[in-house]
Chains A and B, each alone.
Chain A
Amino acid sequence: MPAKKSHAMLLGSVLLLASSPLMATPSASMLANTCAGCHGTGGNSVGPASPTIAGKSAEYLKDVMAQYKSGERHSTIMGRIAKGYSDEEIALIADYYAGKSFESNAAKQKLDTAKVEAGSKLYKKNCSKCHDENGSLADDDSGILAGQWLPYLQFTMEDFRGGRSEMTKKMKKKVDKLDDEQIEALLQFFASQE
């Protein structure tokens, strides 16, 4: 249960704080508000490329930030920013945004209905086991793809396929079998979800 885990993390960081009075940790909202300039107020990005981070599970957000920090996940700017935070601070930020709701950006972007349709079929066959409910479920700890900004999905997938970011073995097996057109269709499908 991600929610329980994150509470445990929170408690852990409070205890740590108490035991080391020299380093004060900013509050969750203090830390999280600094993200809004690029990721939108409350984590809902108005686009066109910075992803919405609201509503994703804390586990997912912590994982991704750790990957940006280590360079396992390629980025232009996020790695540089992630390195500014301790694991405790990242946990606070993750919990904060996990508590917000993801607003779909589907209606705000131009999508190709034929591609969306093709993507829908590919989704069922290839992605639905891990990216539940059309990629809209935060609790599967695999992000929220439904209604995400398309350029972000495209950049991320380009990095996965180019070997600049690490995919899970399960995902790599599926992705490697799909061609450019199929991948684009899938991403359009995810972006189109209300």
Chain B
Amino acid sequence: MQKLNRRDFIKVAGTTVAVSTLGFPHIATAASKKVVIVGGGTGGATCAKYIRMADDSIEVTLIEPNKNYYTCYLSNEVLGGARDIDSIKFGYDGLGKHGVKVVHDTVTAIDAAARKVSTKGGQSFSYDRCVVAPGISFSDNIAGYDKAAHEKMPHAWKAGDQTVILRKQLEAMDDGGTVLIAPPPNPFRCPPGPYERACQIANYLKTKKPKSKVLIVDAKDKFSKMKLFKQAFERHYPDHIEWVAAGDTGGGVKSVDAKAGTVQTGDGKTHKAAVYNIIPAQKAGAIAHTAGLADDSGWCPVDHRTFESTIHKGVHVIGDAAIQAPLPKSGYAANSEAKVTAAAIVDLVNGREPGEPSWVNTCYSIVAPKDGISVAMVYNLVDGKVAKVSGSGGLTSLDSPAGDRAREVQYAYSWFNNITHDAFGG
């Protein structure tokens, strides 16, 4: 074992001069550096691949319970019937080609002091740096929404089986039925998702079950891309989508009775629909809580330069689970955070100071077969925090012509193909 020198360096930020000290304890020079990644979604997979692309002397192990990952993005097209569930399914062979060791197991503990990850299957992995990318888990803000209710009134907010259940319910529904979507309070994964979902389902109903409708009973009074979505509701689905603000129902859906097939809103009223899509409030994925990486907000505080946990040193939290605002909890942001984190980790394990980060978010919503809308933003680090680059980004214009809207759909598909290839491709 050789002790590396402790490196002191001066960071100049704004007018203040901060002196920070980084320690690199117990790094064996003989063995290669080890990174363990917990979670194989967009963030985890991207991070694993980009670490290996930047420095293939680093041993990267990605631990993920499932053999396949189903992307949340574009799962709304599966619900609307425009695409098949298999088209949003991705395996881990591509990461294998980059030399990432993929282990299918469930992480049960992360010991930040001992730098060790343990699994349900009894395995243990030591690391120099750990990346936790667990996505989301659900809070119990809706009474009665238990495991059984998940099957009857699917959230479909983690794609896969849940997506298929909801799609089957929509297919089985008689014409004339109401589909009740209950979007969650902020913050949550994919802020425009519930409203794109309403459009995709309404598009299916409009063509296949025209007497049916989508009723959005929101837990909020405003939402992402709101003007653009309201335009889409009026333009494409005037008879098929109704949105009700939280203020009109006492805060949206507060409890469900899965057996009776009813839900209750905050104003005490009971509602009955043919199909329900109940999306509960969210917090960081389970392992983030078990490992003590989350704070009272339910999400994980991180140093934005490196996405290293401010609670446990040596552990980085990326993707939906992190407190990354003003970056949104989106797939593109997770992909972008993963690359910043990969670069920081490559620097850190090689004894260098992490460089200046840069992030982008782009997020498309397909509101009709030839009508796509988007939001984009470039972010940089200001005073140690993620900040929007002023003058950049913004939304599709409300009056953008039909031709541009059709292009945005093509760019949305390009986004999907490229980001999934960037994260999971060999």
Contacts and interface: CB of A to CB of B under 8 A. Distances in A.
Interface of A: 21-22, 24-27, 29-31, 33-41, 45-50, 76-77, 80-81, 83-85, 89, 151, 155, 158
B418 A50 contact: yes
Greatest chain B CB density within 10 A among A36, A40, A50, A85 is at A36
Given A30-B357, A76-B407, A155-B407, A47 B422 contact: no
A191 to B, nearest CB: 15
B355 interface: yes
Contact of B339 (A22, A34, A46): A34
16 contacts: A24-B356, A25-B356, A27-B343, A30-B339, A37-B418, A38-B362, A40-B422, A41-B425, A47-B414, A50-B415, A76-B408, A76-B411, A81-B378, A81-B393, A83-B378, A83-B393
B241 interface: no
B29 interface: no
Contacts of A155: 407
A26 B418 contact: no
B357 A84 contact: no
A71 to B, nearest CB: 12
Contacts of A46: 414, 417-418, 421, 425
B421 A40 contact: yes
B360 A81 contact: yes
Given A40-B421, A76-B400, A49 B12 contact: no
Contacts of A37: 332, 335-336, 360, 362, 415, 418-419, 422
The prevalent SS among residues of A at the interface is loop
Interface in B362-411: 362, 374, 376-378, 380, 389, 391-394, 396, 400, 403-404, 407-408, 410-411
Contacts of A84: 360, 377-378, 389, 391-393
Contacts of B106: none
A24 to B, nearest CB: 4
B122 interface: no
B102 interface: no
A80 B415 contact: no
Given A30-B356, A30-B357, A155-B407, A80 B417 contact: no
B157 interface: no
A83 B392 contact: yes
A115 B401 CA distance: 29
Greatest chain B CB density within 10 A among A41, A80, A83, A151 is at A80
Nearest to A35: B360
Contacts, number: 125
Contact of B414 (A27, A34, A48, A83): A48
Given A49-B413, A89-B358, 15 more contacts: A27-B356, A30-B339, A34-B336, A36-B418, A37-B415, A39-B418, A41-B418, A46-B421, A76-B400, A76-B404, A76-B408, A77-B408, A81-B392, A83-B378, A83-B389
A22 B396 CA distance: 33
B356 A41 contact: no
A81 B362 contact: yes
B346 to A, nearest CB: 10
Nearest to B378: A84
A37 B336 CA distance: 8
A151 B410 contact: yes
Contacts of A27: 343, 355-356
Contacts of A31: 358
A26 B358 contact: yes
B263 interface: no
B322 interface: no
For the complex of A and B, list the 7 residue pairs with the smallest distance between their C-beta atoms, beginning with the closest. A84-B378, A84-B392, A50-B414, A49-B410, A34-B360, A26-B358, A26-B356
B136 interface: no
B307 interface: no
B411 A77 contact: yes
Contacts of B12: 21-22
Contacts of B421: 40-41, 46
Contacts of B407: 49, 76, 155
Greatest chain A CB density within 10 A among B392, B413, B418, B422 is at B418
Nearest to A24: B356
A108 to B, nearest CB: 11
Interface in B38-56: 50, 54
Given A34-B336, A50-B411, A84-B378, A29 B418 contact: no
A38 B419 contact: yes
Contact of B422 (A36, A80, A89): A36
A81 B380 CA distance: 13
Nearest to B54: A29
B88 interface: no
B359 interface: yes
B282 to A, nearest CB: 23
Contact of A26 (B50, B357, B393, B394): B357
A22 B404 CA distance: 39
B414 A45 contact: yes
B288 interface: no
A34 B22 CA distance: 27
